């Protein structure tokens, strides 16, 4: 029997092989498990591995839409009875008491889970170097980062350890690692996918979405996990569709400005020049407030992080000490938070607390919210003229391990092209658009809120063009 692990295989291909009897369900899982055994020591994509996936896949009904699909799940999404660390020492021994809504949905629709993906602590970072459990390595070059914060899930998909993965995206954490590892990453419209059972980072940005080997798989997964959920009050089942006609793609000049690494820029420009279809028109547009996006994101994100991470007080959640209990409640807080959080988490808690403090609230937080509105308006205007917007996914190719970890500002610049979608709640996908040496380069496509339909249809067309 054919072994599926080690080669990148889509859900669709796996399902076909199962249907034709080319492989058995056990083969699907054992192929991935043996790949994990061989590779995970090198890439550290997965923090835990579920050997019982073989048993699980045998129990599933063949008629279910995700039958045969094997997933890695970012370690900030709860699977009942399994450890869920969010990449933090603080949650090293935390066992999830219930399934996240997205997990429940995947289970019901026939999918199985093979392990939990490594990540930057509490989803804060762009390289997985902030994980308390060791960094992950890019399968395309082991000396380079896989991106972050969903670096582990991206590695698992790119390295043939599963069909697909779920990640979370607050400022680019699905799309940037997908671009660095040469896979597809999709952040849905804010509110289309439930965040119940997902460990919060910055709640007005957080969205769960797929990392996959094809745009079609990303769409299949999105359709399986989307929809209104009574446990997440911002969710909606709204779907908007484009009325027929030519597709207009807008190319915003601000995303091709100075400062981008030459190889990345040229690869995306070459990919755009290949778009030559009678159904598609490419037009130049401008999104003038783009340059203020990153600072606005940093202020609002850190403010929300400081509030969300306040719950890790050592009482409800926290480190398990094998030493005498702290004498005062103050000491308990200091011990837990002082020892439990890594450097980046502390930096953001301090920054966010400062931005929300009485004297500075208006100058920073309120100002950033106003900028956020202007950025959303930029997009609103643009979507009156075009159906989708195409940009580079990242300003650079995957960087070297250690290159940016001591320079948080340089690290944060990795998110410059992805944060605008989170600030505006838009759906955005990153997909491979070409190569530079051994590295894959990602293009990003954004659509208006709830227009996933047109987003996937354009992305599938471009995927075909760019694969030729």
Answer for which of 47, 73, 102, 124 binds ligand GLN (CB under 6 A) is 124
User: Residue with structure tokens 């790949």?
Assistant: 35
Please report how close the Cβ of residue 193 comes to ligand GLN at its closest, in angstroms.
14
The 3-state DSSP class for residue 38 equals helix
Yes or no: say if 115 and 46 are a contact pair by the CB < 8 Å rule.
yes
- Cβ proximity to ligand GLN: between 70 and 77 the closer is 77
Please report how close the Cβ of residue 128 comes to ligand GLN at its closest, in angstroms.
10
Answer for which of 173, 192, 213, 306 binds ligand GLN (CB under 6 A) is 173
- Residue 199 binding ligand GLN, by CB under 6 A: no
The CB-nearest residue to ligand GLN is 173
Q: How many CB atoms lie within 10 A of CB 260?
A: 18
Does the active-site annotation cover 173?
yes
- Residue 152 binding ligand GLN, by CB under 6 A: no
- CA dist., res. 236 & res. 217, Å (int): 22
User: Which structure tokens are listed for 63?
Assistant: 């008629």
- CA dist., res. 391 & res. 420, Å (int): 11
- Residue 172 binding ligand GLN, by CB under 6 A: yes
Closest CA to 397 of 446, 437, 444: 437
149 prior amide bond cis, ω within 30:
yes
Using the contact rule CB under 6 A, the part of the chain among 119-127, 255-263, 387-395, 402-410 near ligand GLN is 119-127
CB contact set of 51 (below 8 Å; sequence gap of 6+): 33
Answer for which of 169, 219, 378, 452 binds ligand GLN (CB under 6 A) is 169
Answer for which of 123, 221, 271, 351 binds ligand GLN (CB under 6 A) is 123
- CA dist., res. 187 & res. 113, Å (int): 20
The alpha carbon of residue 358 and the mean position of all alpha carbons in its chain are separated, in whole angstroms, by 33
- Cβ proximity to ligand GLN: between 15 and 414 the closer is 414
Answer for which of 25, 87, 125, 185 binds ligand GLN (CB under 6 A) is 125
Query: Side by side, which strands form the sheet with 247-252?
Result: 46-49, 112-117, 70-74, 164-169, 207-212, 184-187, 428-436, 439-447, 388-392, 247-252, 280-285
- Cβ proximity to ligand GLN: between 99 and 169 the closer is 169
User: Which structure tokens are listed for 426?
Assistant: 């838009």
Using the contact rule CB under 6 A, the part of the chain among 30-38, 88-96, 109-117, 171-179 near ligand GLN is 171-179
Footprint of ligand GLN on 406-435 (CB under 6 A): 415
Using the contact rule CB under 6 A, the part of the chain among 88-96, 165-173, 252-260, 286-294 near ligand GLN is 165-173
- Residue 171 binding ligand GLN, by CB under 6 A: yes
β-sheet bridge partners, residue 459? none
Q: What single string gives the DSSP state of each residue in 351-411?
A: HHHHHTSTTTTIIIIIHHHHHHHHHHHHHHHHHHH-SEEEEES-SSSPPBTTSSTT-HHHH
The residue annotated as part of the active site, out of 30, 149, 194, 414, is 149
- Residue 178 binding ligand GLN, by CB under 6 A: no
- Residue 306 binding ligand GLN, by CB under 6 A: no
Closest CA to 261 of 48, 4, 436, 15: 436
For 355-392, b where at least 16 C-beta lie within 10 A, e where not — what string?
A: bbeeeeeeebbebbeebbeebbebbeebbeebbbbbbb
User: Which structure tokens are listed for 100?
Assistant: 């996240």
- Cβ proximity to ligand GLN: between 196 and 422 the closer is 422
Answer for which of 43, 54, 131, 149 binds ligand GLN (CB under 6 A) is 149
Q: How far is CA 449 from CA 26, 187, 192, 380, 456, in A?
A: 40, 11, 10, 10, 13
Answer for which of 4, 14, 170, 214 binds ligand GLN (CB under 6 A) is 170
Does the active-site annotation cover 74?
yes
- Cβ proximity to ligand GLN: between 17 and 144 the closer is 144
Please report how close the Cβ of residue 76 comes to ligand GLN at its closest, in angstroms.
9
The residue annotated as part of the active site, out of 126, 127, 150, 173, is 173
The residue annotated as part of the active site, out of 17, 74, 105, 107, is 74
Residues that bind ligand GLN (CB under 6 A): 123-126, 149, 169-173, 201, 301, 415
Residues with active-site annotation: 74, 149, 173
């Amino acid at each position: 029997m054919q072994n599926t692990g080690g080669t990148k295989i889509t859900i669709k291909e796996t399902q076909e092989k199962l249907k034709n009897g080319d492989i058995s369900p056990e083969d699907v899982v054992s192929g991935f498990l043996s790949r994990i055994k061989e590779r995970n020591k090198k890439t550290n994509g997965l923090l835990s591995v579920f050997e019982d996936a073989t048993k699980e896949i045998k129990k599933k009904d063949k008629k279910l839409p995700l039958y045969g699909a094997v997933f890695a799940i970012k370690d900030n999404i709860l699977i009942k009875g399994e450890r869920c660390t969010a990449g933090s020492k603080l949650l090293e021994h935390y066992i999830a008491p219930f399934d996240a809504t997205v997990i429940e949905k995947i289970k019901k629709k026939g999918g199985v889970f093979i392990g939990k993906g490594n990540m930057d602590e509490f989803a804060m970072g762009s390289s997985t170097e902030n994980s308390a459990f060791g960094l992950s390595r890019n399968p395309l070059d082991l000396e380079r980062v896989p991106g972050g914060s969903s670096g582990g899930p991206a590695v698992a998909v790119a390295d043939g350890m599963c069909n697909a993965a779920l990640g979370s995206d607050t400022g680019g954490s699905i799309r940037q690692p997908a671009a660095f590892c040469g896979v597809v990453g999709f952040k849905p419209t804010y509110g289309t996918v439930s965040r119940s059972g997902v460990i919060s980072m910055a709640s007005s940005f957080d969205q769960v979405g797929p990392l996959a080997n094809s745009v079609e798989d990303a769409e299949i997964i999105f359709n399986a996990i989307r929809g209104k959920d009574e446990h997440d009050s911002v969710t909606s089942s709204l779907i908007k569709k484009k009325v027929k006609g030519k597709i207009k793609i807008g190319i915003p000049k601000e995303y091709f400005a100075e400062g981008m690494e030459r190889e990345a820029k040229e690869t995306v420009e070459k990919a755009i020049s290949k778009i030559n279809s009678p159904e598609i028109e490419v037009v130049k547009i401008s999104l003038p407030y783009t340059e203020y996006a990153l600072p606005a994101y940093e202020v609002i994100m850190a403010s929300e992080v400081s509030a969300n991470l306040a719950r890790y007080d050592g009482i409800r959640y926290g480190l398990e000490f094998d030493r005498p209990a702290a004498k005062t409640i103050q000491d308990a807080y200091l011990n837990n938070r002082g020892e439990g959080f890594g450097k980046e988490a502390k930096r953001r808690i301090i920054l966010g607390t400062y931005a929300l403090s009485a004297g500075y609230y208006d100058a920073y937080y309120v100002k950033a919210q106003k900028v956020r509105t202007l950025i959303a308006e930029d997009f609103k205007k643009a979507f009156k003229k075009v159906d989708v917007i195409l940009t580079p996914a990242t300003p650079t190719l995957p960087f070297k391990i250690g290159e940016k970890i001591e320079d948080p500002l340089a690290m944060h610049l990795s998110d410059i092209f992805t944060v605008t979608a989170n600030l505006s709640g838009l759906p955005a996908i990153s997909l491979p658009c070409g190569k530079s040496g051994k590295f894959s380069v990602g293009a990003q496509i954004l659509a208006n809120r709830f227009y996933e339909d047109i987003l996937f249809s354009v992305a599938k067309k471009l995927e075909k063009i760019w694969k030729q």
